[in-house]
A and B are shown apart, each in its own frame.
Chain A
Amino acid sequence: MDKKLLKRRSEYQWVIEPFGRMNVPAIIFADETLIEAMDKKVYEQATNVAALPGIVKASYAMPDAHWGYGFPIGGVAAFDPDKGGVVSAGGVGFDIACGVRTLTTGITAEDIKAVRHKLADRLAAKIPAGVGSTGKLHLNSKEMDNMLAGGAQWAVERGYGTKEDLLRIEGRGRVSGAEPAQVSDYAKKRQQDQVGTLGSGNHYLEVQHITEIYDKTAARVLGLCEGQVVVSIHCGSRGLGHQIGTEFLKKMATNASRCGIRLGERELACALINSPLGRQYIGAMRGGINCALANRQILTHLVREVFGDILPQAQLKLLYDVSHNTCREETHLVDGTKKKLYVHRKGATCAFGPGHASLPDELKSVGQPVLIGGTMGTASYILVGTEQGMSLAFGSSCHGAGRSMSRHAATKIWQGRQVVQDLADRGILIRSRSYRGAAEEAPGAYKDVSEVVEVAHQAKLSRKVAKLEPLVCVKG
């Protein structure tokens, strides 16, 4: 992106002052290197979002922002329902509440060394992943609705995990206001075989070890120490979420012209929050969020079963579960007044600061854990939300680095088998259903997440706590 298009407000804030139909400025969080490398579509999309009705303060883009669907990926935008604010299916995406959870284990990389091949094989066998895989749970219509209303709470009530887990999930494992009746039969049918499955593409289940601690105090509170093994799961609401996104995007696109909402691009399709369509989408989308939370809870149970067999001394405790494709009703200070806003985070994570009411007591001193996923050959990071972040971008941070080249280009450069072998030579065991998939997911095909995380830290969006590197990676 040409820097000259932007006004540099500070070292890490680049502003596009309102012009044309923009209601608010667009603000991109990045350093000079990231701004120059950012694709121009981010400029276009951030300014399009700024033109949506009822947007509050600014249209934000996180340090990992790239070309998305209407919203840039890494986009954050909040809307005031009392000022004609809108909700956008494109601003949430097709994988509603895709997110990451990380579990601590209490064991070290040394402890798993002797059994890591067995661990990798068993995880790959146990975790349904990839096209053609089927979850073990088949829910009847009533249970499907219960799941959509109850989220991870429903899963725990069915024996998947513990009540303690729920305290470490956004919203205590369940978003209220979900309306299963607004989720179509098509979406429920599409989810039939996919309950408790990992998905494919950039989804993963990783066994990682902590290789660096940046903040000893925060690490102690989070129960992290160097050398410790953790397990991270990255996936979302599966077919149900994709179907909700598909259906409501069509309804909103069809509706937008009828309501005279001018869209910068069709993917920005939205509806007034206070409209029947807006409320239907919110009800369905919340069902999608609960579906993702339930999904990650079930997968956690499967992982615990595998560890229970192979490494019984491990105690898998949920550190936190964050989602990065959501629209949530939140209260924020706007010009000194508390306002209820609908905050879209598209490929961006909630990052609430210390003392936030949503946090369990033991985490209030440090802030909400923020889990940033890397690729199967690089690093992931654990950060925490900051107080400054609350006023910078509604308590938001980045979610991961994004691709640096297309899938097609990646398969031209890398052979899947070689990618897997190279990683094995580095001590990282990959279990992938497809070699071509492994090539498409090659570490080199992604941007450097370390750079993105560093900028998020320097920009005070969130604060670095620990670095994680993969030992075992299960892909779909």
Chain B
Amino acid sequence: MSDSSGKAGWEHFPHEADVGIRGRGMTMASAFEQAAVAVTAIITEPAKVEPLQEIEISCEAVDDELLFVDWLNSLLYEMATRDMLFSRFEVQIEGNKLNGKAWGQKTDVEKHQPVVEVKAATYAELRVGRRRDGIWIAQCVVDV
């Protein structure tokens, strides 16, 4: 789940009906990247998704939290329309704008054994911010 430094990583947190996802990192962008891995982990083991094909994402929103949800929902859109899963992410944030890349492959039902479709990232438990120890977190509940 996390790298050896413990600085960047992801986790799921409990939510009654659905799933909470949380990414953390040294930067806000890194937290966004990790959160995306957390979303993939709802569907399949990220390690099973080979980063073979690159796609680009750009989005814009009035604040960091809406931008975070937009980032995740843009990914979900790409997953649904391309029938792909993604395991590697790169995010650049400038003001209200996000430019991102994701690497993954076509969904292979036998290999990936997808558990459930993620419908949307929501505003429930939505938080983007810096902890006291300086680590950025980005979290929300996703609707499955």
Contacts and interface: CB of A to CB of B under 8 A. Distances in A.
B114 A246 contact: no
Contacts of B57: none
Contacts of A189: 81
Interface string B96-113: 000000000001110011
Contacts of B80: 190, 194, 239
Contact of A254 (B14, B62, B109): B62
Contact of B66 (A199, A250, A435): A250
A70 B123 CA distance: 9
A193 interface: yes
B143 A69 contact: yes
B104 to A, nearest CB: 13
B115 A436 contact: yes
B61 A250 contact: yes
Contacts of A70: 123
A243 B70 CA distance: 12
A434 B73 CA distance: 24
B81 A245 contact: no
Pick from B61, B107, B123 the residue with the most CB of A within 10 Å.
B123
Contacts of A239: 80
Contact of B124 (A201, A267, A405, A434): A267
Contact of B119 (A95, A250, A253, A265): A95
B32 to A, nearest CB: 17
Interface in B119-144: 119-124, 126, 141, 143-144
A94 interface: yes
A402 B18 CA distance: 10
A267 B126 CA distance: 10
Nearest to B108: A132
B69 interface: yes
Contact of B122 (A94, A405, A407, A409): A94
A67 B115 contact: no
B73 A403 contact: no
Contact of B17 (A186, A402, A408, A434): A402
A94 B123 contact: no
Interface string B64-80: 01100110010011001
Given A266-B123, A436-B115, A406 B19 contact: yes
Given A94-B122, A201-B144, A433-B109, A67 B16 contact: yes
B91 interface: no
B54 to A, nearest CB: 20
A192 B17 CA distance: 27
A68 interface: yes
A131 interface: yes
A131 B107 contact: yes
A444 interface: no
Nearest to B84: A132
Contact of A434 (B14, B108, B114, B121): B114
A199 B123 contact: no
A130 B15 CA distance: 22
A269 B124 CA distance: 12
Contact of B16 (A94, A406, A476): A406
Nearest to B12: A408
B119 A94 contact: yes
Contacts of B112: 132
Contacts of B107: 131-132
Interface of B: 12, 14-19, 42-43, 61-62, 65-66, 69-70, 73, 76-77, 80-81, 83, 107-109, 112-117, 119-124, 126, 141, 143-144
The 3 closest A-B pairs by CB, nearest first: A131-B114, A266-B123, A132-B107
25 contacts: A39-B16, A66-B16, A66-B17, A67-B15, A68-B17, A69-B122, A69-B143, A95-B119, A95-B143, A131-B43, A131-B117, A194-B80, A199-B117, A200-B144, A201-B117, A245-B120, A254-B66, A267-B124, A408-B14, A408-B19, A433-B109, A434-B114, A434-B115, A434-B116, A476-B116
